[in-house]
């Protein structure tokens, strides 16, 4: 076996987005494409000789092939050991857990998160640092710079490594250790939550349904929910990870998790329902015929955190992404702890958690987490909810409505316009920015515009500045309309409109969110000229 330096030429499109580099599978299968990006990672992170790396992914199409390439490149670039999940599987939060537990130099996660899989689907790759969290913008910018100038990549001439049995093998001078992808994560969950109380809840007839959407969290959910907590067999549905996610779209929302939604809104609905996404870091929470918005979920977890053993001593603070509703802010104010508003992207929470400033954090895009890892964590959120339900013994809907009575309700919705022509979507955003002067102070029905801006964030830990994070239209009563181009798609552009209106009057808490937000929705369409500029009359997804 020998190490080869293979000449290559740069690709111009390897700029990492919010969560790494995502493209169609066919793009990653192009000669040198994956290799160029991996070498750019290795050239940017300056890992010491003999360092340990974590490697795994969500099992989507091309996962195994990519892992074999990365292992041979890691060996050629001087790594001493790679911990890889059996079968190439590691959920994103489990990868973060393993990086932190074994204090590795970092890890490479192969996933396109909630995007579709299969030969015609999406693939992704990202680097996580030694804290277990996504690389900072400084690192991702360095990777992009390297990718634009790369001239060669290094590869070990060797056969493939067996991935389906636990144990060690060698690849040149490097050790490859195949680990159980579930064990370390399950042990961490057991250290945080009252498994005995949850077990008793489930043994008492409380029924749950967890939809793994044929994605990575199937084995994790079966081990924890059915085996360790005693939920009946069949409580986890679609639990076998498949390279194409069973032909579905592994995004846990009311549109794509339709099988679970039909069960939870049916005549004999279980007491609690949940779903997670492709790589296991997102979650959707449902009660009987009742949907919990991600923004409300974060606020409710914070308000009830001391019921959970791992958080019994309270929270240092809360962080939420800018588009996420201000429901968590009200809880933080009541608890007399800080609440930070950050750009979208989990890496921004990592700095706050590493500095001990926050304990819980969340994004409206179905992501919630805490300082136990440095990624959002879908199954962790489910267990947090089950722990609260075991302690309070009230239905999901009752707990949420009681929360609204105490803190008020933030009516909230997100409209996703997927696959828009990029130029048209950018035109909407530019039109909005050009309209700031005329919009400020303008009156739209009962809503008066207080301010408009393009959100900018200064990190309170390292002082770094992130500009251009989304257009905000903020009204005098605190209601908001936010426009943002998402960085998670691979085709065209995804434009997201976020709508939020606070309501203190409990008599109006029964309103459907779309009814309560109807006027704001019309204002958003009017001021953005979205229909005229994109030709799109309806959003792809409403959550």
Q: Annotated catalytic, 40?
A: no
Sorted by sequence, the CB contacts under 8 Å of residue 135 that are 6+ apart come out as 16, 126, 127, 128, 129, 143, 347
Decide: residue 31, CB within 10 A, 0-12 exposed, 13-18 middle, 19+ buried: exposed
Q: Strand pairing of 272-276 and 208-211?
A: parallel
What 236-239 contacts at long range (C-beta under 8 Å, 24+ apart), as own/partner pairs, is 236/210, 236/212, 237/209, 237/210, 237/211, 237/212, 238/211, 238/212, 238/213, 238/214, 239/212, 239/214
Q: For residues 426 and 420, what is the distance between their CA atoms, to the nearest angstrom? A: 10
Burial class (CB in 10 A: 0-12, 13-18, 19+), 144: middle
CA dist., res. 375 & res. 218, Å (int): 18
* φ, ψ dihedrals at 457, nearest 5°: -130, 130
Say if CB 396 and CB 286 are below 8 A apart: yes
| Three-state DSSP state, 292 | strand
Is the C-alpha dihedral spanning 118, 119, 120, 121 positive or negative?
positive
Nearest alpha carbon to residue 158 among 284, 74, 247: 74
> How wide is the angle at C-alpha 458 spanned by C-alphas 452 and 463, nearest 5°?
165
Q: Going by C-beta distance under 8 Å and a sequence separation of 6 or more, which residues neighbour residue 484? A: 323, 344, 469, 470, 471, 495, 496, 498
Short-list 496, 520, 500, 499, CA closest to 428: 496
Let me know: does 503 contact 411? Beta carbons within 8 Å. yes
**Angstrom distance (rounded) from CA 384 to CA 224:** 13
What is the secondary structure of 12-68 as a DSSP string?
A: S----BTTBEEEEHHHHTSTTHHHHHHHHHHHHH-PPTT-EEEEEE---TTHHHHHH
Radius of gyration of the chain (CA): 23
How many Å apart are CA 340 and CA 426, to the nearest integer?
Answer: 28
Cα distances from 241 to residues 213, 238, 308, 366, 419, in angstroms, run 8, 8, 30, 20, 26
In sequence order, what are the beta bridge partners of 3?
A: 156
State the catalytic residue, choosing from 44, 96, 113, 325.
Answer: 113
Contact 150, 10 (CB under 8 A): yes
Rounded-to-integer distance, Cα 56 and Cα 58, Å: 7
Give the catalytic positions in this structure: 113
């Amino acid at each position: 076996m020998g190490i080869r330096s293979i000449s290559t030429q740069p690709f111009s499109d390897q700029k990492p987005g919010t969560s790494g580099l995502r493209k169609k599978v066919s793009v990653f299968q192009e000669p040198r494409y994956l290799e160029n990006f991996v070498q750019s990672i290795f050239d940017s992170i300056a890992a010491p000789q003999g360092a340990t790396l974590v490697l795994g992914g969500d099992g989507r199409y091309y996962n195994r092939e990519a892992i074999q390439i990365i292992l041979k490149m890691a060996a050629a670039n001087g790594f001493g050991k790679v911990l890889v999940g059996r079968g190439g599987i590691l959920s994103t939060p489990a990868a973060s857990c393993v990086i932190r537990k074994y204090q590795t130099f970092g890890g490479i996660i192969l996933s396109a998160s909630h995007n579709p899989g299969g030969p015609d689907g999406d693939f992704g790759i990202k680097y996580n640092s030694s804290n277990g969290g996504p690389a900072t913008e400084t690192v991702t910018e360095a990777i992009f710079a390297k990718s634009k100038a790369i001239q060669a990549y290094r590869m070990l001439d060797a056969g493939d490594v067996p991935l389906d049995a636990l144990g060690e093998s060698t690849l040149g001078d490097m050790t490859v250790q195949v680990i159980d992808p579930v064990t370390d994560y399950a042990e961490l969950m057991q250290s945080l939550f009252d498994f005995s109380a949850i077990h008793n809840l489930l043994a008492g007839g409380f029924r749950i349904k967890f939809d793994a959407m044929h994605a990575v969290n199937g084995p994790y959910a079966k081990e924890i929910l059915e085996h360790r907590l005693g939920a009946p067999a069949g409580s986890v549905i679609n639990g076998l990870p498949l390279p194409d996610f069973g032909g579905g779209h592994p995004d846990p929302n009311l549109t794509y998790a339709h099988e679970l939604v039909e069960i939870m809104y049916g005549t004999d609905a279980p007491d609690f329902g949940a779903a997670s996404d492709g790589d296991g870091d997102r979650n959707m929470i449902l009660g009987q015929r009742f949907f919990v918005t991600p923004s409300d979920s974060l606020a409710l977890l914070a308000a009830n955190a001391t019921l959970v053993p791992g958080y019994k001593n309270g929270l240092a603070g809360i962080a939420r992404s800018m588009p996420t509703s201000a429901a968590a802010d009200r809880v933080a104010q009541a608890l007399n702890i800080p609440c930070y508003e950050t750009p979208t992207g989990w890496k921004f929470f990592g700095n706050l958690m590493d500095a001990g400033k926050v304990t819980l954090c969340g994004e409206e895009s179905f992501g919630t987490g805490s300082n136990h890892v440095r990624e959002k964590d879908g199954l962790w959120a489910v267990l947090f909810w089950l722990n609260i339900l075991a302690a309070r013994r009230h239905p999901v809907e009752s707990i949420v409505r009681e929360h609204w009575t105490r803190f008020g309700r933030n009516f909230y919705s997100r409209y996703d316009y997927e696959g828009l022509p990029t130029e048209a979507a950018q035109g909407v955003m530019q039109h909005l920015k050009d309209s700031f002067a005329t919009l400020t102070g303008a009156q739209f029905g009962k809503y008066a515009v207080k301010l408009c801006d393009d959100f900018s964030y200064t990190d309170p830990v390292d002082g770094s500045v992130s500009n251009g994070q989304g257009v905000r239209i903020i009204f005098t009563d605190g209601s908001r309309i936010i426009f943002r181009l998402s960085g998670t798609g691979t085709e065209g552009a995804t434009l997201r409109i976020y709508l939020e209106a606070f309501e203190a009057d409990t008599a109006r808490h029964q309103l459907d969110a779309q009814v309560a937000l109807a006027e704001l929705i019309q204002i958003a369409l009017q001021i953005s000229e979205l229909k005229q500029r994109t030709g799109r009359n309806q959003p792809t997804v409403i959550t």
